[in-house]
Amino acid sequence: MSTNEPHAPVACTPQALSAEAWATHQTTSAQIFGARHAAAEELPDGYAFRFPAAAFPLVAAFVAGERRCCPFFTFHIEVPPAEGPITLRITGSPEAKVVIAAELLNDPQRA
């Protein structure tokens, strides 16, 4: 993470989304972090997840919701040519990395 990037406190705020938007975000999260992610790779400041090209709309929707309720993450979506797999990198402070691991790697509903 660049030292020039703003640092937001590591605190998730589900109330940043309406009840309906939160429910949709939870469904999207479960869909893409369930069977869809082919691999999760640990990075020094976060994690990288790979998805099939067809998952792009869900990945984009996940990022749109997540950046509102967890503004302390930095998101990078890599979309290669020729329908190659999409890579979503979620990075942040050491505390943010702990949240990623707890929410996206260890959640039994998403395993």
pLDDT for the residue numbered 5? 53
The CATH number of whichever domain residue 53 belongs to comes to 3.10.28
Q: How many domains does the chain have?
A: 1
| Structural domain span for residue 21 | 14-105
21 in any annotated domain: yes
pLDDT beyond 60 at 108: no
- Distance separating alpha carbons of residues 42 and 36, to the nearest angstrom: 17
Distances (CA, A) of 32 to 3, 7, 9, 57, 107: 30, 27, 26, 10, 13
What is the residue whose two structure tokens read 């999760």? 40
Domain presence at residue 3: no
Model confidence pLDDT, tens digit, residues 48-58: 999 999 999 99
17-28 pLDDT tens trace: 899 999 999 999
In a domain, 110, yes or no: no
Q: In whole angstroms, what is the distance from residue 91 CA to residue 93 CA?
A: 7
In this structure, is residue 36 part of a structural domain?
yes
Q: Which of 9-23, 45-59, 62-76 has the lowest mean pLDDT?
A: 9-23
1 assigned to some structural domain: no
If pLDDT is split at 50, 70 and 90, which confidence band does 10 have? confident
Q: How far apart are CA 36 and CA 28, in angstroms?
A: 11
> Do the domain assignments include residue 9?
no
